Structure 1
Amino acid sequence: MEHSRRWMPRVLRRVMAIALATVAAIALAACSPGPRPANARDVGVQMFQWPWSSLAAECTSFLGPAGYGWVLTSPPNEHITGTAWWTSYQPVSYAVDSRLGTRDEFAAMVGTCHEAGVKVIADAVINHMSGQDEPGTGFAGSRYTHYDYPDLYTGDDFHHCGITPGDDISVYDDAFEVQNCELVNLADLATEKPHVQDAIVAYLDDLLALGVDGFRIDAAKHIPADDIAAIVDRLPEGTFVEQEVIRGAGEPIQPEDYTANGRVLEFGWGRDVKGMIESATVGQATGLGEDWGYLPAHDAVVFVDNHDTERNGETLSYADGAEYLLANVLTLGVGYGTVQLHSGYAFTDRDAGPAQDAAGNVLPATCADDVGSETAFADGDWVCQHRWPGIAGMVSFHNAVGDAPVTREWSEGDAAAWARGDLGFVALNAGAEPITTTLDTGLPAGDYCDVITGGAHATTTSGCSAETVTVDAEGRTTLVLHPMSAVAIHVGARA
């Protein structure tokens, strides 16, 4: 694909990009406004800092078979050198050549994931370039200065707001400052200029030609919504777009300003879920959504954590063990928004990047066989949250119940339960004491496999791989809900 692109006329490249985007639109239809049918594969997972070759192997060995619909990659652009995680978010060129792999490896990964039934969304850093005051050389050899990136951008292509020390953003209650000053010294692109828009669209078109199905627009809050519109309107119809717009109380720039351009990450979700789990008020879980001041469900991408919030403590993270697992059970169980999970590596230094070799390439990502909420992780270990049995099992639950409504709600003390029509049932206990109760599941009588303990493949030829839950002729079951635990069953996982 890489070699053919060098001679391919732009018209033909555009036709190919449109064809790829059409395939993506069909595959991601479950994420679009309107009904979400049962067995739709629309759960995504951010595979943070996973090398391209490792991600390709994971699509085949686990993500596809487990029912994941799409992956979000780390930025596929040339970046500054260094060991910190955030080097990936300081572009120096739009060459698809980074510490995560080469252009050929990226293209091969996209194709492999597609063959496994998994779509690929790329993290697109288009608000800024590097934040380095001194001249340097990027990972793939491109030379640059803070405001000069040869054959791409020069000083006139950047904002210099001139109203704060060092041109850095100092307050967030001034929209002009947020979108025209620099985010922690990162060279802020003048995205209103045609030349800048042309360069960004060419980069995104190139990624589409390599097969990607859409984009996460990093730091979208720092780009005027009209500028993003001018860019995404030039992409093929149906290109998936999600935008990072962090919700801040009382601020002039809000997620609602960006919904015309595509979906928007709803940061309020992860914050509130953390509060519910930590305060054991999960009985409110099924009410989470628009009534809490969130975006409409079809506009929202919800998550328990991402690479930023797991570091700043704003949300729960893998280090919270059972609480983190319950937060993911809740998120996948209630059916609001498009769900994006997170899978990264363990750290104690919030700046630490993944393990690298002497040349700066990220070492292959591998998952231990027994990863889960009780696993003790050392710095640098791949946490592989997407493989935790309870999380992978809830992906199967989410797929099985589709957009079935929440019914048969129950809560007692620190525990809650609900059905999803007559397709699934979930119960969780965020408290410190066990609770024994008999509940109406709404499911047909029979033996079901608990997908929290059984994982993505809870059923076996002889029954269940882990716990079995029996539903009687009246649709009721008796459960012992242990502290900090959950049970989930659905019609697709019967013994």
Structure 2
Amino acid sequence: MIHSARLQVSERKRSNYACELINNYKRNVMCSFTAIAAIAAVATVLMCIFAIVPNSSAFASTKSTDGLPPKGVIVTAFQQNWKSIAKECKRTYGPEGVSYVQVSPPQDHIRGKAWWTSYQPVSYNLNSKLGTEDEFKNMITTCRAAGVGIVVDAVINHTTGDSNKDTVGVGGSKYDAANQSYPDAGYTKDDFHQIDKDIYTYKDAQVVWNYRLVGLLDLDTSKSHVQKILGNYFAKLLKMGVAGFRVDATKHMCPEDVKGIKEAAAKAAGMKPENIWWMQETIGFPEQDPKIQPDQYVGTGEVDEFEYSYRLRNYFYGSIENLSHITDQLIPNKKAAIFVTNWDTERDNSTRVLTYKDGAKYELANAFMLAYPYGTPNIYSGYKFTQRDDGAPGATDTNIPDVKCGKNSQWQCTQRWTSIRGMIGFYNAVKGTKVTQWQDDNDNNIAFSRGNKGFLAINNTDKPKNVSYKTDLPDGEYCNVYASRKCSSTVTVNGGKVEITIPANSAIALHVKAVEHFGSTSTFSTVAMIVIVFAVLLIELALILCKK
């Protein structure tokens, strides 16, 4: 009997032990399952966040196959100091996907408040009213870290007017213009064309190349000594990390001279000439000498296609139905540098181009430029002015203060405009695609797709327009990046069609990297918060189960 009782106790112990093993197994399974569920919930939120917030700065850091920097959006930060540009690279340019910032000439120059003082070099030392050499270097480093390259506006055709004698530039460089002596640059009288007359005709290339441009001493760029000095200047900038150049007044130099300068730069920098990104200011008019036309300079790099700007204004102040023909007979796509306006045209040709003073039409023209596949687009960010010579806001003879953007600021800060930010993202999203589904209604409205990556529709009238357009975009809910930054304005693509009312003088711009997966941004935030809270509760439960 005692033996039987002992057997029963032993059986119960074995049974209890087995139950405990089973319960421990269940707890471990539940612990593992709960932990995995929590991790999965958090991972889902993170994947969604990274899916809808693209790493835009990556666009500027990729390498092209031909040795040149990849094509991308440029913003011209006109007359903005180096400290301000460095800050803006971190705040706006990098995060918004701007590939390059074009800066005003960095070399030492004559004193004065006017903007054009930067375009009269006295040496190639990098101390100017825009900042010191150290600040310039820091700007390059800071912007590159943000995925943004620096393009330098280089003034190499001339120096200054001939009136100043024994004086110094903003950065302390000595010069004697009256005697054509610039010791800190390395120039003597022998380095200049000895013709003391201004250009009087553009129908003779020799006059354009050898006479003075508005009274400025004209360098003899055919001389090897001059080419070497200029080549060393370019090489210094390249070694600092500059991505490329906009060469001022290129048409005022013989194409062979420009080629020689670029070759000297390449030699000094240890590069191949074809691997230096070189954009050239070449204003072409058909009535001028064929030798100074833009197509004569494509052998050394891209050229500014001013005709593109002129046509944009004509279309937007007339009818935009034929905008698809805007590039007819222009410089080939890969050689064209384009813009809606720049600092010269907004002052000297305001009746031929669109500027900030044209309001909505200016924004629409910039949107089209960024949406239509032609050339290298350059967005101009300058400041408001009343007189042609007005310097930057707050400028003195030797200094330009920091840029301050805001409602009452004189700075335009174009790169921060909602439509511009949205269209920069559009440009990056549709790279490599062609125009498809071009449509116009013969009533100053157009629309087109960029393959299955993007869609733009423009209403260039003073009244709202109900539209129904075909698009190659996949069906779904898209953010209108032209009108809103946080996807507060959405557009539905259904059955390959967009049916919507476009406000007067406005646009809708949709692309595949701005898709409204979760409804509004606030809805996404709410869903994300709920998932995160649920994940935290699961983690707590997992800890309790795993401790038992």
TM-score, normalised via structure 1 length:
0.86
Of 480, 490, 501, the match for 1:468:
490
* Structure 2 match to 1:301: 337
The 5 Å alignment of 1:296-445 reads 296-312=332-348, 313=350, 314-356=352-394, 360-368=398-406, 381-412=410-441, 413-445=443-475
* Structure 1 match to 2:217: 187
Structure-2 change in CA distance of 1:27 and 1:215 (3 Å): farther
Taking only aligned residues, the RMSD between alpha carbons, in angstroms, comes to 1.9
In structure 2, C-alpha distance between the alignment counterparts of 1:64 and 1:208, rounded to whole Å: 21
Q: CA deviation at 1:143?
A: 2.1
In structure 2, C-alpha distance between the alignment counterparts of 1:176 and 1:66, rounded to whole Å: 45
Whether 2:72 is the aligned partner of 1:42: answer yes
Q: Which amino acid aligns with 1:481?
A: I
Q: What fraction of aligned residue pairs are identical, expressed as a percent?
A: 40
| Residue aligned with 1:150, SS | coil
Q: CA deviation at 1:243?
A: 0.4
* Structure 2 match to 1:213: 243
* Structure 2 match to 1:255: 294
The 5 Å alignment of 1:45-64 reads 45-64=75-94
Alignment: residue pair count: 442
Q: Which amino acid aligns with 1:168?
A: D
Q: CA deviation at 1:30?
A: 8.8
Structure-2 change in CA distance of 1:216 and 1:28 (3 Å): farther
In structure 2, C-alpha distance between the alignment counterparts of 1:105 and 1:73, rounded to whole Å: 13
Whether 2:189 is the aligned partner of 1:155: answer yes
In structure 2, C-alpha distance between the alignment counterparts of 1:116 and 1:239, rounded to whole Å: 22
Task: State whether residues 41 and 399 of structure 1, in contact with CA within 8 Å, keep that contact through their aligned partners in structure 2.
Answer: no
| Residue aligned with 1:91, SS | coil
In structure 2, C-alpha distance between the alignment counterparts of 1:202 and 1:403, rounded to whole Å: 36
In structure 2, C-alpha distance between the alignment counterparts of 1:336 and 1:32, rounded to whole Å: 21
Structure-2 change in CA distance of 1:416 and 1:358 (3 Å): closer
* Structure 2 match to 1:450: 480
Worse overlay, 142-151 or 86-95: 142-151
Of 239, 245, 259, the match for 2:276:
239
* Structure 2 match to 1:29: 64
In structure 2, C-alpha distance between the alignment counterparts of 1:359 and 1:185, rounded to whole Å: 21
In structure 1, C-alpha distance between the alignment counterparts of 2:254 and 2:371, rounded to whole Å: 34
* Structure 2 match to 1:3: none
| Residue aligned with 1:404, SS | coil
Q: Which amino acid aligns with 2:515?
A: R
Task: State whether residues 112 and 397 of structure 2, in contact with CA within 8 Å, keep that contact through their aligned partners in structure 1.
Answer: no
Structure 2 unaligned runs (5+)? 1-58, 517-548
* Structure 2 match to 1:487: 508
In structure 2, C-alpha distance between the alignment counterparts of 1:178 and 1:385, rounded to whole Å: 34
Q: Which runs of 4+ in 1 moved over 4 A?
A: 24-28, 30-33
In structure 1, C-alpha distance between the alignment counterparts of 2:145 and 2:174, rounded to whole Å: 37
Task: State whether residues 31 and 42 of structure 1, in contact with CA within 8 Å, keep that contact through their aligned partners in structure 2.
Answer: no
In structure 2, C-alpha distance between the alignment counterparts of 1:299 and 1:230, rounded to whole Å: 19
Task: State whether residues 445 and 460 of structure 2, in contact with CA within 8 Å, keep that contact through their aligned partners in structure 1.
Answer: yes
| Residue aligned with 1:483, SS | coil
Q: CA deviation at 1:443?
A: 0.9
In structure 1, C-alpha distance between the alignment counterparts of 2:278 and 2:436, rounded to whole Å: 32
In structure 2, C-alpha distance between the alignment counterparts of 1:332 and 1:142, rounded to whole Å: 41
Q: Which amino acid aligns with 2:138?
A: A
In structure 1, C-alpha distance between the alignment counterparts of 2:210 and 2:187, rounded to whole Å: 17
Structure-2 change in CA distance of 1:224 and 1:58 (3 Å): same
Structure-2 change in CA distance of 1:89 and 1:357 (3 Å): closer
Q: CA deviation at 1:442?
A: 1.2
Q: CA deviation at 1:406?
A: 0.7
In structure 1, C-alpha distance between the alignment counterparts of 2:85 and 2:65, rounded to whole Å: 23
Q: CA deviation at 1:32?
A: 8.5
| Residue aligned with 1:452, SS | coil
| Residue aligned with 2:122, SS | strand
Of 105, 128, 134, the match for 2:164:
134
Q: CA deviation at 1:25?
A: 10
* Structure 2 match to 1:374: none
| Residue aligned with 1:345, SS | coil
Task: State whether residues 333 and 397 of structure 1, in contact with CA within 8 Å, keep that contact through their aligned partners in structure 2.
Answer: yes
In structure 2, C-alpha distance between the alignment counterparts of 1:295 and 1:444, rounded to whole Å: 34
Task: State whether residues 164 and 176 of structure 2, in contact with CA within 8 Å, keep that contact through their aligned partners in structure 1.
Answer: yes
Q: Which amino acid aligns with 2:119?
A: Y
* Structure 2 match to 1:273: 312
1:110-149: per-residue Cα shift (whole Å, max 9, x none)?
Answer: 0000000001111110000012412132112222122110
Structure-2 change in CA distance of 1:358 and 1:408 (3 Å): closer
Task: State whether residues 244 and 265 of structure 1, in contact with CA within 8 Å, keep that contact through their aligned partners in structure 2.
Answer: yes
Task: State whether residues 113 and 395 of structure 2, in contact with CA within 8 Å, keep that contact through their aligned partners in structure 1.
Answer: no
Q: CA deviation at 1:27?
A: 4.2
Structure-2 change in CA distance of 1:435 and 1:334 (3 Å): same
Q: Which amino acid aligns with 1:433?
A: K
TM-score, normalised via structure 2 length:
0.78
Structure-2 change in CA distance of 1:241 and 1:41 (3 Å): closer
Greater share of helix residues, 1 or 2? 2
Structure-2 change in CA distance of 1:155 and 1:28 (3 Å): farther
Q: Which amino acid aligns with 2:261?
A: I
Structure 1 unaligned runs (5+)? 1-23, 371-376, 459-463
